[in-house]
Amino acid sequence: MVREIRIYPDEVLKQRADEVKEFGKEIKELVQDMFETMYEKGGVGLAANQVGVLKRVVVIDLHSGKEKQGKEQMVFINPQIVEERGEVVQEEGCLSLPGLYKKVKRAAFVKVKAQNLEGKEFEVEAEGLLARALQHEIDHLNGILFIDRLSPLQKRLALEKFKKLKRKYERKTASKR
């Protein structure tokens, strides 16, 4: 089921998500819904609080093209960055800030420890787009948006631009109903 994406300044986006302790049907359904929502909206990653659920769950599929969707689904439950190295500045966007793109500084390499759908721990080392997506989505779980990583002036300008984009987005989504 496709869920509603929470749009800035929705308060749930600023809250820290709770650790997942039970790995049952509810989490599996949430993950399935998150993938469906992410594909519907054209994203490559999604955190549970972006669909209004304060659980530490992230889904990622770097292949957003329709023909490859679902081929490389990754699920990270209770993820945490345990190592990071280097630095890279690249443009980012966010499904919760539709249409807004800004350059953000992130680590070039991350090692992330997480659990899978059965609760089994695993680690992944990542560079490139996967490293960026992991950092972006884990930030969401901590109540941090990519605009929070900008300088105060850059953030203010980005939010002024987003107000205009949001009105356009709201008109577009209202016309689809």
User: Both tokens of residue 165?
Assistant: 């984009």
Q: What share of the chain is helix, strand, coil (3-state, %, to 5)?
A: 40, 25, 35
Dist CA 84 CA 113 (whole Å): 12
Dist CA 159 CA 144 (whole Å): 15
Q: Are 95 and 50 in contact (CB under 8 A)?
A: yes
Judged by DSSP in three states, 72 sits in: coil
Q: What are phi and psi of 27, to 5 degrees?
A: -70, -40
Dist CA 156 CA 120 (whole Å): 42
> Is 36 tagged catalytic?
no
| Marked catalytic residue, from 29, 40, 72, 137 | 137
List residues with catalytic annotation. 137
